[in-house]
Chain A
Amino acid sequence: MKVSDMRRNNRRRDNCIGLLVATALVACPLAASAQAELNLPILVPITGFLSLEGTSQRNGALLAIKNAPSSVKITAEVTDTGSSPEGAVTALERSLSRGKVSAVAASMLGTQMLAMLPVALENKVPLATVSGTADITEKNNPYVFRFFPGDAVAKGAHVRYVLEELKKKRVALVYQTTAYGQSGRKHIVELLKKSGIEPVMEEALDVAVKDMSAVIGKVQAARPDVIMLHLHGGPSALFIKQAGAAKVNLPIVAGSGMSQPTTVALMEPAELKGLCAETNAAPVAGGSPQMDKFLAQYRAEFKSEPDGFAVGQYDATSMIIDVVAKGAKTPEDIRKALSGGSFKGLAMTYKSDGKGNMAHSAVIICYDGKTRMPKIVKRYD
């Protein structure tokens, strides 16, 4: 089933704030056949320092539910996980105690996923996430599905673009001291090593570091020919802005943090000139009719710009709804369908590699300095 086939939905608008339960009401008089049921708790961080990403996840999932065919009766409760593993596990156990859970839209925070995995295994419930953390699909746990390029894929694209397209050899690498940063850095360094390259300079930054003049000075002193950033959104923007002020005239290839629309909004278009970034999917107009429709709907519904996490979680939720509509009844059915089938989503076609990695594509986007809208310059499948 294609995204464009999804029924437009005229039900009462489940408007975001304060909304607890988005229950898809029975509203299809034609499909008299037996209704498929789906209980899909949405367990994501909507408070704390990852609430931006978590809210994107939530919105993506809710939008997919809204667009679901009426033959599927969906119950979806949003529960905040905060940013601690404890919060995630508690939220999961809570959902499990409140009825038969079919599958879970789970947090993009790696440590929370790692904590939820054993509980999911024990209760045989599939988790669909957009976490990039490499580890989560390395635990031989058949219940995790990642609808987002893992570090291996994303950083593969990041490094290949730098080496193959830009043909750079002297890499300066600046990354964050968070799970996102450390895990990404590990893959970048390993991939560079395979090509016989060692970064000329590396530095880790805490998210609280605001004045980056010292690290920018060190980058310059190392005389690199390219800067690779693997920072969260805000720090990426700070680095690029301050590097611009310090007249650093080097190509910068940033991580997915830069591609978030909220990050781009922090910069003037001119400041973005020549900047490239890696991402799973660029929710940009003109990508495809489906994407355009998603963009319009998302903006109307949530009064904000979607990012890659929203797209990823939208696709993940859509695939789950799809397999349920096609007859998957139990969590085990859903798990089997997810691990065996493939699904054409907004960003790419998803298919498991046997470990639960569903996304195998990443794109490189670049900005031309005139608008905040990026262009896809390279796609790695």
Chain B
Amino acid sequence: MLLQILANALALGAAYALLALGFVLILNATGAVNFAHGDMVMAGGYVAIAMGSVLQLPGALLLPLVVAVMALLGFVFSWFAYFPLKNRPPVSVFISTIALGIIFQNSANAIYGAAPRKGPPLLSEGNFGMGGITIGAQALGIVVVAIVLIVAQHLLLNRSGIGRKLRATAQDREMAEAVGIRVNRMIALTFALGSALAGAAGLMLSNTFFITPTDGTNYVIKAYIAVTIGGWGSLSGAVCGALIIALFEVLFPSLPLLIPPLKIIAPWLFTQTASTILLYVGLLAIMFFRPQGLFGETVQRRV
């Protein structure tokens, strides 16, 4: 039972991790929350569906194409939502991304309608048992793809010249500019990277959980919470935060199954609604007691 729950949580967490990672990359480069990040996930899902219906390929082969299209979309996105506002307070970008989110959502609604759609599976949709637990081929695929992408983006950032430039830009834009890095290009690239990761998540989630034009809001809130719990701006923190949220979402309402007395003591506490409320309360508590996040270090800002 516990193993099954952990397996489910891992599959969910892997997808959340991809979207949290894209979110935090853009956050670091621009200092601003991209509130349309969930809508990028949604867009990725629809791109996958559109390509899948034309090419008739499995998701695993569509993945590079979707990632490429979404990276392009990320460029375009930055051109509208970020660059006109780069010298304004980050709040302006926050609001401009809300506006772009509205445009994304309603474009998807106008093109595809509000009916839920199903994206192509990575390989197949079967399930297989392993040591008493059942794992979907898709779920396993998500975990594998997420690990590959997370490792790839880690290598890109830490082991390549362009990665060093991206990181330098995120850390201190003025300093990066002073040493001759083309900062705007790097930021646009970051948007492309973040959008690509969101697109990959969208491709996979659109098969597992289907996709509707209004799904984005839910996903961006998850990413936002994951990044806050993990520590503002920390890449590994974002991944950990995503896993924690997924674990909480799956495990907490299941607790009465693992510990039967709970069912008698407080059944109301373990409903889906109560656990969602608790997630937010927990989030507020973390922000209050550890504003640097669970894994962040204390930073005191210079005056």
A adjacent to B, CB under 8 Å: yes
How far does the Cβ of B126 sit from chain A's closest Cβ, in whole Å? 10
In the complex, what residues of A have CB within 8 A of residue B125's CB? 268
Q: How far is the CA of A246 from the CA of B127 in the complex (A)?
A: 9
B298 at the A/B interface (Cβ < 8 Å)?
Answer: no
A263 at the A/B interface (Cβ < 8 Å)?
Answer: yes
A34 at the A/B interface (Cβ < 8 Å)?
Answer: no
Among B91-99, B166-174, B191-199, B210-218, the stretch that binds chain A is: B210-218
State which of A211, A218, A221, A266 has its C-beta within 8 Å of the C-beta of B250. A211
With known contacts A213-B8, A245-B127, A245-B136, A52–B115 Cβ distance under 8 A: yes
Residue interface bits B103-120, CB-to-A below 8 A is 1, else 0: 000100110011111100
A209 at the A/B interface (Cβ < 8 Å)?
Answer: yes
**Which residues 190-213 of A sit at the B interface, judged by CB distance below 8 A?**
203-206, 208-211, 213
Q: How far is the CA of A245 from the CA of B4 in the complex (A)?
A: 12
**Which residues 208-263 of A sit at the B interface, judged by CB distance below 8 A?**
208-211, 213-215, 217-218, 221, 233-234, 237-238, 245-247, 260, 262-263
Residue interface bits B261-279, CB-to-A below 8 A is 1, else 0: 0000000000111001000
Q: How far is the CA of A266 from the CA of B119 in the complex (A)?
A: 9
- CB closest residue in chain B, given A236: B116
Q: How far is the CA of A304 from the CA of B117 in the complex (A)?
A: 13
Contact B106 A47 (CB under 8 A): yes
Contact B116 A206 (CB under 8 A): no
Contact A206 B210 (CB under 8 A): no
In the complex, what residues of B have CB within 8 A of residue A245's CB? 127, 134, 136
With known contacts A213-B8, A234-B212, A247-B134, A266–B118 Cβ distance under 8 A: yes
Q: How far is the CA of A213 from the CA of B250 in the complex (A)?
A: 7
Q: How far is the CA of A262 from the CA of B114 in the complex (A)?
A: 10
Q: How far is the CA of A238 from the CA of B118 in the complex (A)?
A: 11
State which of B134, B214, B272 has its C-beta within 8 Å of the C-beta of A246. B134
Contact B218 A177 (CB under 8 A): no
B257 at the A/B interface (Cβ < 8 Å)?
Answer: yes
Q: How far is the CA of A17 from the CA of B113 in the complex (A)?
A: 12
In the complex, what residues of A have CB within 8 A of residue B1's CB? 217
A22 at the A/B interface (Cβ < 8 Å)?
Answer: no
Q: How far is the CA of A263 from the CA of B118 in the complex (A)?
A: 10
State which of A49, A217, A237 has its C-beta within 8 Å of the C-beta of B114. A49
In the complex, what residues of B have CB within 8 A of residue A111's CB? none
**Which residues 1-60 of A sit at the B interface, judged by CB distance below 8 A?**
17, 47-52, 55
Q: How far is the CA of A304 from the CA of B113 in the complex (A)?
A: 10
In the complex, what residues of B have CB within 8 A of residue A234's CB? 116, 210, 212
Q: How far is the CA of A217 from the CA of B252 in the complex (A)?
A: 12
Contact A211 B249 (CB under 8 A): yes
**Which residues 262-302 of B sit at the A interface, judged by CB distance below 8 A?**
271-273, 276
Q: How far is the CA of A209 from the CA of B250 in the complex (A)?
A: 10
B123 at the A/B interface (Cβ < 8 Å)?
Answer: no
Interface residues on A, range: 35 or more
B151 at the A/B interface (Cβ < 8 Å)?
Answer: no
Q: How far is the CA of A51 from the CA of B162 in the complex (A)?
A: 44
Residue interface bits B5-38, CB-to-A below 8 A is 1, else 0: 1001000100000000000000000000000000
Contact A206 B114 (CB under 8 A): no
Contact A48 B8 (CB under 8 A): no
B253 at the A/B interface (Cβ < 8 Å)?
Answer: yes
- CB closest residue in chain B, given A266: B118
DSSP class of B's interface residues: helix, strand, loop or mixed? helix
B184 at the A/B interface (Cβ < 8 Å)?
Answer: no
State which of A48, A233, A304 has its C-beta within 8 Å of the C-beta of B116. A233
- CB closest residue in chain A, given B116: A234
B209 at the A/B interface (Cβ < 8 Å)?
Answer: yes
B90 at the A/B interface (Cβ < 8 Å)?
Answer: no
Q: How far is the CA of A177 from the CA of B272 in the complex (A)?
A: 10
With known contacts A213-B8, A238-B210, A268-B125, A51–B273 Cβ distance under 8 A: no
How far does the Cβ of B140 sit from chain A's closest Cβ, in whole Å? 12
State which of B110, B116, B251 has its C-beta within 8 Å of the C-beta of A266. B116
- CB closest residue in chain B, given A221: B257
In the complex, what residues of A have CB within 8 A of residue B117's CB? 266
- CB closest residue in chain A, given B7: A213
State which of B114, B218, B250, B254 has its C-beta within 8 Å of the C-beta of A51. B114
In the complex, what residues of A have CB within 8 A of residue B272's CB? 203-206, 209, 214-215
B256 at the A/B interface (Cβ < 8 Å)?
Answer: yes
In the complex, what residues of A have CB within 8 A of residue B276's CB? 206
With known contacts A213-B254, A237-B210, A246-B134, A52–B114 Cβ distance under 8 A: yes
In the complex, what residues of B have CB within 8 A of residue A205's CB? 272
- CB closest residue in chain A, given B209: A210
**Which residues 110-150 of B sit at the A interface, judged by CB distance below 8 A?**
110, 113-118, 125, 127, 134, 136
How far does the Cβ of B264 sit from chain A's closest Cβ, in whole Å? 13
Contact B210 A52 (CB under 8 A): no
With known contacts A203-B272, A213-B8, A237-B210, A55–B113 Cβ distance under 8 A: yes
How far does the Cβ of B244 sit from chain A's closest Cβ, in whole Å? 15
How far does the Cβ of A118 sit from chain B's closest Cβ, in whole Å? 28
Contact A208 B218 (CB under 8 A): yes
How far does the Cβ of A205 sit from chain B's closest Cβ, in whole Å? 6
State which of A51, A204, A218, A266 has its C-beta within 8 Å of the C-beta of B257. A218
How far does the Cβ of B157 sit from chain A's closest Cβ, in whole Å? 30
Q: A50-B114, A266-B118, A304-B113 are in contact. List 15 more A-B contacts (CB 8 A).
A: A49-B114, A49-B212, A49-B214, A55-B113, A206-B272, A210-B209, A211-B8, A211-B209, A217-B254, A217-B257, A234-B210, A234-B212, A262-B115, A262-B116, A265-B115
Enumerate 28 A-B pairs (CB-CB under 8 Å) in ascending A order: A47-B106, A49-B212, A52-B115, A55-B114, A203-B272, A204-B271, A206-B276, A210-B12, A211-B246, A213-B8, A214-B251, A214-B252, A214-B253, A214-B272, A215-B253, A215-B272, A217-B5, A218-B253, A218-B257, A233-B115, A234-B210, A245-B127, A246-B134, A262-B115, A263-B116, A265-B118, A266-B116, A268-B125
Binding site for B on A (CB under 8 A): 17, 47-52, 55, 177, 203-206, 208-211, 213-215, 217-218, 221, 233-234, 237-238, 245-247, 260, 262-263, 265-266, 268, 304
Per CB-CB distance, the 4 closest pairs between chain A and chain B, nearest first, are: A262-B115, A234-B116, A214-B253, A51-B114
